[in-house]
Amino acid sequence: MNVSTAPKASLPLNNNIVLDQHQPQISEHQQGRLPFEQLKRTVSSNLPCFLIEYDQDVNSKNRPSDISAASFLEDHFKQQGISITFSLVGHSGIKLKLGVSNKEMYAALISTDKWPAQINNINITVIKPKFIPDAFALVVRYVPLQYNEEYVKEEIERNLQSVENVRRIQYHFQRRTNDFRFVVKDLREYNSTIKLGRISIGNTLCTITPFLTGNRMTFCTRCWCLGHMRDKCELENPRCRICLENLINGQTHVCLNRARCAQCNGDHQSLSSECDKVVEYRSELKAQINNAISSGKLHRLIPQERTQSMEFQTKQNEFPSLP
């Protein structure tokens, strides 16, 4: 099953960039406390959701409810021999939004071509995630410095057929070895690699471990400020992620690739670790997450490797004790 599939300089403010009028909406953070909603989002499963778009010619009143549509899809896949249980059912705008917390189910939904063409006789379009989530990422560790990045990439691709996006992990301190992160699209190959635990890079057997994702920040993809999401944004027009120039309907935007930060107006991108405000936010987020988990208020959710088997139960007299 394949999981197929995201320069520094000063910039004079453009007339339609009014940074001072839209400050990051992180008042709770500035007061030293992040909203609990942000903490919950941070520890949730990072498997992206599937979207179902209904035929626009159909009246919205005739469309099935989110729960009914999800139940229909589960029954449909069951008839096709695919066991699916949705852990998230909701909507994004007018689209049905569905999610699973199990890697095997996610891989099955990505790879299958057995999605229905209709729900309740209404034509639908299935929108699958366009990127491979971190749940399918691995790290090859302790690679000797004598092997350059291109050679390591070739060696990993020689070991694994469905590997993508091999890149060296950047650390802020000098190390005697390198670590490389990559994703494995095929779930069977991913699980086999984890079970094996090592792959060869040149003449060296290197350790393979799952990639551990960091705490997810809450940020807006409309204004690129921390502390809220797109549906809560108060900005009139969306902004370019790099230069923060307003994106106005009917006008072509040509980005000059000169970064500007939405948090501090610095000459770096808005979510860069070069930003002191981003570093401060991450630090506060980590501290509050650890505190909430240790106190039992939160539980970190990670994508399951496989469906849990049913517990074997016996009756008292089924297996009598030996004399």
Helices and strands, counts by H and E, the chain: 7, 10
Fold equal for 43-127 and 134-210: yes
Domain range annotation of the chain: 43-127, 134-210, 215-286
- pLDDT, tens digit only, all 323 positions of the chain: 555 544 444 444 443 433 444 444 444 444 457 888 777 777 666 788 999 999 887 777 888 999 999 999 999 999 999 999 998 899 888 899 999 988 899 999 999 999 999 998 999 999 999 888 888 999 999 999 999 999 999 999 999 999 999 999 988 888 999 999 999 999 999 999 999 999 999 999 999 999 987 778 889 999 999 999 888 899 989 999 999 999 998 889 999 889 999 999 999 999 998 899 999 998 998 888 888 888 887 776 666 554 444 344 545 555 555 55
CATH number of 43-127: 3.30.70
Q: How far apart, in whole angstroms, are the C-alpha atoms of residue 317 and residue 311? A: 18
Q: Determine the pLDDT at residue 300.
A: 67
Q: Determine the pLDDT at residue 145.
A: 94
Q: The tokens 């320069």 sit on which residue?
A: 7
Q: How far apart, in whole angstroms, are the C-alpha atoms of residue 162 and residue 110? A: 15
Q: Determine the pLDDT at residue 231.
A: 84
Q: Taking the CA atoms of 126, 127, 130 and 136 in sequence, report the sign of the dihedral they define.
A: negative
Q: 0.75 exceeded by the pTM?
A: no
Structure tokens at 109: 């939904």
Q: The tokens 């650890």 sit on which residue?
A: 290
- Top CATH class of 134-210 equals alpha beta
Structure tokens at 254: 């040509």
Q: How far apart, in whole angstroms, are the C-alpha atoms of residue 73 and residue 33? A: 41
Q: The tokens 């009246």 sit on which residue?
A: 59
Asked if residues 284 and 293 have their Cβ atoms less than 8 Å apart, the reply is no
